[in-house]
Amino acid sequence: MASLSRWKVMSKRDFNLRVKKLVSDIVQAEELEISFGRILEEWEEPLGPTPFPSIIDLRRWDQILLERYKPFYMPFCDLCCLCTMGKCDLTAGKRGACGIDMSAQQSRIVLLAACIGAATHTSHARHLLEYLISRYGRNHPIDLGGNIYLEAPIIRLVCGIKPRTIGDLEDALSYVEEQIISLLAATHTGQEDSWIDFESKVFHTGMLDHVALEIADIAQIVALGYPKGDPEAPLTEIGLAAIDQNKPVILVVGHNVPSAASIVDYLVKSKMYGSVEVAGICCTAHDVARYSPTAKIVGPLSWQLRFVRSGLPDVVVADEQCIRADILLEAARVKAPVIATSVEKCMGLPDATGEPIDSIVEKLVSGSMQGVVFLDPERVGELAVKTALKVFPHRQKVRSLPSDEELKVLASRCRGCRFCERACPNNLPIAEAMSTASKGDFNALAYLYEVCIGCGKCEGACPRNIPVHSVIVQGARKIWRNERFKIRVGRGPIQDVEIRNVGRPIVFGEIPGVIAFVGCSNYYNGGREIVEMAEEFLKRNYIVVTSGCAAMTLAMAKDEEGRSLYEKYSGAFDAGGLVNVGSCVSNSHIAGAAIKIAAIFAKRNLRANYEEIADYILNRVGAVGVAWGAMSQKAAAIAAGFWRLGVPVIVGPHGAKYRRFLLGRKEDESSWYTYDARTGDRVYAGPAPEHLFVAAEGKEEAIVMIAKLCMRPNDTSKGRAIKLSHYIDLSKKFFGSLPDDLHLYVRREADIPLTLKSEVIKFLKEKGWSEKPIPDPTLLPRLVRKR
């Protein structure tokens, strides 16, 4: 048993009894108060070894992972500038004034990023939960419908509790909050100094982050009536052209849905539903569409500049996370008032929460106030709608994009200095596009639009003050004026019955893998690449799950018949299904599905049994996360949660800026031994999965890597043959040959795909291959059955 924390003895709600006056045969008392701490609720599942684990309770598991998957640090900065003894140069073995070296400093920065991400999700969960409890009561049941009995797999796994009401979620949330404070404290000067312990703490942060995600999403699903694991959740519209510009438009942007839900509620209550457009960017868009499927989704977070500058939004309602820091300035340029609804993002605006709505509306419409902070989610709907209705006729959809006539003039101001290209994260050939645009040919600008991440840094870099991003957007007007697609609304969790159906084929390898396309839209080469990647695997009968901005990007391409991927593929968690779970916080259902496979299919005890379940997933569940455009600290925290759970993550080229990978060394045979749980023997199981965290240089490398990372030591020969057939086929398709490491993944002749037998056997002979046993794999000696 690991060390006890106070959470282990207080893992259920407080019990307090207050008695004004007590008179009995044996005692008389006044103002009597009895407090019992918390009552541990029992259910049929025995309590595992690590309920509410402290920072060090899972350290041994982390070290097992880190022994195999060692960090390769690629410092983003040579210096440490976190205290006044610095700056300190840590280059090539130097130590700072506090004694820290570069490995520790890099892992410390990774921990800081993960803490920021986890704190953000946790704060989000806290705001949401408090609001929902105030509105629906602590006793609002966690009822995810008749097909989901394992309602909170992460909370059960980590905390060892079974939440029955939304009030019960507070126990898990308080635990997460306490732990994150300790983790953040570990980054202070003079605290942790070992890279391996920093990395262990990163994993701990990621695990906590997943608890927070699950709390937030379960609470909003059950309280706000979102789809409950429905494979046929409705389709809604996405894209700039999906927004009806003949109506007042309210843009909701961010991640925390109460203000957007309040807008929908007010429109329904006042019978104006349908006469005002509610259009979302980023995860608030996902969640308002789950709340009201007729709400529109504009696009991922990188669509903020282009949408605001298009002039379509009449009011901007900002909640929290991933909202541009210049949204107020941008909105001012198109004369759209801003309503800030989160304490996390007040934008320097006056707090008008207590003021009468009509008075605020008047100030916003007259322009005497450009925006307000308004922290009452019950009334923000009325404020936003009334403002939009009054602003709409005055604004006339004023734009901050140049006209077609102005476009050529602006482009001709370019002198080809290329400072814009040097500021551009994707090093796009802007100067060349400006040159052709100045002659009236806008095709190159249209190309830039498709691969631009919408950051706008090009404009700040331009010495001639050309509004470069606006020029690109306007030059691509023919594209975005037709940008209208279908996306399936986030369905939330995976049903228990779905897990029952696919658990066996996933664990034995017959469904070749579960691939999660998640994260932000910071793509190196445009969003079309992840559409192509996802479809490659959908066609091959992998299960593809998705969330967040990636889920939006997957909708934003059409086939020859005009269908998006969501119209072509089923929403079921099954072979060839495309499962949009929802917003960032819905990533919990992706981790939850992997955990449920261990619990429902393999009947492993889940409760407070983290190490065993993670060992199960690492060795048996062929799941891979792909965060192709990961940008944020939240994405870092989410990834960290998957690493500890044994799920490898691939990022796109920009993801390398997370500055360290967790790489296995496939040729180092000693790294790839496991215990055979049947015999206790140490058995070579092959480099599967080869890495825990890595970037791909491009789409082709990512596709082949995904297929490889889906292999697991436990695959049956039939399953391994299926996985190898895809790995080989993709390697031939994109690399022009058999994989050069194929011999490491063939354990027995029966693993070889039948149709490729002669070719593969010839290759194996050249490599001096011999058959190896297939173990019942585990990295945990305590799980060996024979004693």
Judged by the rule CB under 8 A, the positions of this chain that interact with another protein are: 70, 72-79, 89-93, 102-103, 417, 419, 422-423, 425, 427, 461, 524, 653-654, 656-657, 659, 661, 663, 665, 694-698, 700-701, 704, 734-737, 740
Cα–Cα distance for residue pair 623/689, rounded to 1 Å: 10
488 sits in which H/E element: strand 485-488
Closest distance of CB 422 from another protein, Å: 5
Closest distance of CB 82 from another protein, Å: 15
Which amino acid, residue 644? R
Task: Please say which residue, 426 or 474, places its beta carbon nearer to another protein.
Answer: 426
Burial class (CB in 10 A: 0-12, 13-18, 19+), 737: exposed
Task: Please say which residue, 422 or 439, places its beta carbon nearer to another protein.
Answer: 422
Task: Please say which residue, 423 or 774, places its beta carbon nearer to another protein.
Answer: 423
Whether residue 486 contacts residue 293, with contact meaning beta carbons closer than 8 Å, is answered with no
Closest distance of CB 102 from another protein, Å: 5
Instruction: For residue 336, give the DSSP letter.
Output: -
Task: Please say which residue, 641 or 687, places its beta carbon nearer to another protein.
Answer: 687
Task: Please say which residue, 352 or 533, places its beta carbon nearer to another protein.
Answer: 533
Closest distance of CB 691 from another protein, Å: 8
Closest distance of CB 465 from another protein, Å: 17
Closest distance of CB 648 from another protein, Å: 14
Closest distance of CB 700 from another protein, Å: 4
CB atoms within 10 A of CB 549: 33
Cα–Cα distance for residue pair 226/233, rounded to 1 Å: 9
Task: Please say which residue, 118 or 704, places its beta carbon nearer to another protein.
Answer: 704
Record the tokens describing residue 254, joined without a space: 């961010």
Task: Please say which residue, 329 or 417, places its beta carbon nearer to another protein.
Answer: 417
Task: Please say which residue, 335 or 657, places its beta carbon nearer to another protein.
Answer: 657
Task: Please say which residue, 103 or 284, places its beta carbon nearer to another protein.
Answer: 103
Closest distance of CB 703 from another protein, Å: 10
Closest distance of CB 711 from another protein, Å: 17
Among 503, 718, 673, smallest CA distance to 599 is for: 503
Which amino acid, residue 731? S
Residues in the chain: 787
Q: What is the CA radius of gyration of the chain?
A: 27
Cα–Cα distance for residue pair 21/28, rounded to 1 Å: 8
Among 711, 697, 690, 692, smallest CA distance to 655 is for: 697
651 sits in which H/E element: strand 649-651
First to last CA, the chain: 20
Closest distance of CB 688 from another protein, Å: 16
Closest distance of CB 702 from another protein, Å: 10
Instruction: For residue 692, give the DSSP letter.
Output: E
Closest distance of CB 144 from another protein, Å: 40
Cα–Cα distance for residue pair 163/141, rounded to 1 Å: 9
Task: Please say which residue, 15 or 735, places its beta carbon nearer to another protein.
Answer: 735
- Give phi and psi for 691, each to the nearest 5: -125, 160
In the block, residue with structure tokens 């004369």: 335
CB atoms within 10 A of CB 428: 20
Whether residue 691 contacts residue 70, with contact meaning beta carbons closer than 8 Å, is answered with no
Cα–Cα distance for residue pair 173/170, rounded to 1 Å: 5
- Give phi and psi for 650, each to the nearest 5: -110, 135
Task: Please say which residue, 85 or 417, places its beta carbon nearer to another protein.
Answer: 417
E-assigned strand segments in 307-364: 315-318, 338-340
Give the CA dihedral 593, 119, 216, 601, nearest 10 degrees.
20
Closest distance of CB 593 from another protein, Å: 28
Task: Please say which residue, 91 or 482, places its beta carbon nearer to another protein.
Answer: 91
Task: Please say which residue, 275 or 427, places its beta carbon nearer to another protein.
Answer: 427
- Give phi and psi for 784, each to the nearest 5: -70, 130
- CA angle (21 as vertex; 16, 24 as ends), nearest 5: 100
Half-sphere exposure for 269 (CA within 13 Å, toward CB): 11
Whether residue 277 contacts residue 295, with contact meaning beta carbons closer than 8 Å, is answered with no
